[in-house]
Amino acid sequence: MTDEKFIVALDQGTSSSRALAVAADGTVRAMKSAPLAPSRPGDGLSEYDAQILADSQLGVLNDLLDEIGPQNAAALAVTSQRSTVVLWDRQTGRAAAPVLTWEDGRAVEEARRAEVSQEEIHAVTGLYKTPYFSAPKIAWCLAHMPGAKEALKAGNLLIGPVASYLIWKLTQGKTFAADPTLAQRMLLLDIRTKTWSEELCRAFGVPSACLPEIRPSAADYGAYDYKGVRIPIAACAGDQQASVAFTDLRPGQTCINYGTGAFLLHNAGAAAPVFLPGMLTSLSASGADGACDYLLEGPVNAAGSVFQWLNAQGITFDHREIDALCGEAKNPVWFLPALGGLGAPYWDYSVTPAFAGLSPRTRRADWVAGAARGVAFLLADIAAYLRAGGYPVSSPVRVSGGLSRVSYLMRFQADLLQAELWVAQEAESTVLGAARLTARQIGWNAGAWKEAAAERVLPALDGAKAADLHQRWQAFAGWCKARPS
């Protein structure tokens, strides 16, 4: 490497830890990564060991710094999966409980028992009272994990999103903070004031003194000292909001990001929080002044994970085969990919994966195409719900994420939405969004960064036929939801 300066962006995702070096022109020049799959000790359970998680992320960071030279790191950015929560002891640095991931649903009873209604919690947080956000998980850990109880009693318990835990580790305990995009997923943040809600903390039994300080997404998060070099940490954000920051989503525009789960986000502007029952109201990443937009967000709980699930069921294929197999399908199955239940706009966690349309002619390709179509149908359900609520999902819809490389899925999605898709050619939208926030914070000209020309995918299906297909899907989905559990 030369003496060129880089922003180093950490991306701690559900299935990997990554560190990437982003140059001043917005291009990725180097990357290190390591797989990091959560363990799944039972149905609906998903967790990490905190030390393994931290070692994985710091390991790829240090490997990257050794490659580029730590003196060439202008700043660090940290982005991470949302709703996954870490509890640890400030004195020992050791975890006080397993790291329950956003997919983990064990805290059903804790969510049910919290004395706050869905309407009240939605009005304060923009979210809903489900076991998939952090507050019920924290309540479960405080009730069942001796280490959490002991640390709390001793006054040493810290509770925060993954990024907060990593920053605390990087700064050797000097910085304990979170940005609003991650703090919100703890189900304890008032999105109007961007402060912790004492009422919600009491409802879930979470001491607010254990929670991180709230700072803007682009802010001073301390520094990482590595081999005698002090590297400032200048940004922190949730992965979906980092991706939105890169695509520069404007009010009235819509984007979809396909990862382990899929997320449709519509920018509703900055004037005031916009609430639509059945949708989440999320915060966009904020600049140094703390200003942000409000995003109507619809999550699909399973997208990329659907294909991993098919492999686990014995329908085996390589991830690189997905597009070709979809193209070979003659009779795609009807497949409701309800891994972890259904997200927006249904919010039904009792539903399990279901399928129909099998015949003696059903082949592997029909399963794979059915899975891709199922993800697209669930996103079309969210778009239809938004449109019915007065928020047009109109062309172009900006698309990013790993599954956006599946041409079959993109064509089918465009047909269902009856909208033009702009498919990002830059695969690293999450990392580049975090780096863009950092660039602005340290005085680089991020406005000069240009997304690679997007591939444009136009709907090829007649509107009436698309509507008929969606109605058939909704009849199938209704049948699935009515099945006895």
Domain ranges of the chain: 6-237
**pLDDT tens figures, 314-347:** 999 998 999 999 999 999 999 999 988 899 999 8
Query: Where is pLDDT greater, at 254 or 427?
Result: 254
User: Is 90 exceeded by the pLDDT of residue 160?
Assistant: yes
| Alpha carbon distance 18, 170 (integer Å) | 15
pTM of the model: 0.90
pLDDT for 255 equals: 95
Q: Assign a CATH topology to domain 6-237.
A: Nucleotidyltransferase; domain 5 (3.30.420)
The yes-or-no verdict on residue 2 having pLDDT over 70 is no
Q: Look up tokens 């960071």; give the residue.
A: 61
| Euclidean distance between the first and the last CA atom of the chain, given in angstroms as a whole number | 58
Cis peptide bond upstream of 161, omega within 30: no
Q: What share of the chain in percent tops pLDDT 70?
A: 99
Instruction: Read off the pLDDT of residues 121-132 as tens digits, 9 standing for 90 and up.
Output: 999 999 999 898
* 400 vs 450: which has the higher pLDDT: 400
DSSP notation for 196-254: E-HHHHHHHT--GGGSPEE--SBS---EEEETTEEEEEEEEEEHHHHHHHHHTPPTT-E
Residues contacting 171, CB < 8 A, separation 6+: 221, 222, 223, 224, 233
Closest CA to 242 of 78, 15, 132: 78
pLDDT at 439: 94
Confidence of residue 350 (pLDDT cuts 50, 70, 90): confident
Amino acid identity, position 268? A
Q: How many residues comprise the chain?
A: 485
Q: What is the pLDDT of residue 271?
A: 85
**Residue 1, pLDDT score:** 53
- Is residue 163's pLDDT more than 70? yes
Average pLDDT, integer, range 9-20: 94
Of the chain, the percentage scoring pLDDT greater than 90 comes to 84
pLDDT for the residue numbered 476: 96
| Average pLDDT of the residues of the chain | 94
To 10 degrees, the CA torsion angle through 80, 204, 119, 79? -10
Higher pLDDT, 260 or 72: 72
- For the segment 432-485, what is each residue's pLDDT rounded down to a tens digit? 999 999 998 999 988 777 766 789 999 999 999 999 999 999 999 999 988 765
Which whole number is the average pLDDT over 377-389? Answer: 97
Residue with the larger pLDDT of the pair 285 and 453? 285
